[in-house]
Amino acid sequence: MNLRLQKREVEDLIQGFIEGEIDSHTAPILKGELELIALSDGFIIELDLSKVTYMDSSGLGVLVAFYKKVIKVNTSLKLLNPSARMARMFNITGLSQFMNIEIRKVTSVG
């Protein structure tokens, strides 16, 4: 399965729309795409996970590493619309205690 990340920037908001499976084969692709996002103090990054059909621990690791990078530069990260399975992974691992995870509708790119 392929993985796609589409991005849209509006002033200090960066919206990312992730589609596909995030596993050991595609996690490096996602990591590379996230590294291309220029982080700046006060920015808000929203990653919509509603079209992620599968995510394993390698995908979780990429999101945690990105979260750590984001908070170092005083940027905000929101993970939007994870599936019930993904939300459970965030809860079981305790990540939902410090990562901002929301369920809401976001208009996709294109």
Q: Does domain 3-102 sit in CATH 3.30.750.24?
A: yes
C-alpha distances in Å from residue 22, one per residue of 17, 29, 33, 44, 60 = 13, 9, 13, 23, 9
* pLDDT one-digit tens code per residue, 18-60: 999 999 999 999 999 999 998 889 999 999 999 999 999 999 9
Domains of the chain: which residue ranges?
Answer: 3-102
How high does pLDDT run on average in the chain?
A: 92
**Tokens encoding 60:** 């979780």
pTM (2 decimals)? Answer: 0.90
Task: Please identify which residue in the block is written with the tokens 């990105």.
Answer: 66
Q: Would you tell me how many other CB atoms lie within 10 Å of the CB of residue 28?
A: 12
What gap in Å lies between CA 110 and CA 92, rounded to an integer? 34
* pLDDT one-digit tens code per residue, 9-25: 999 999 999 999 999 99
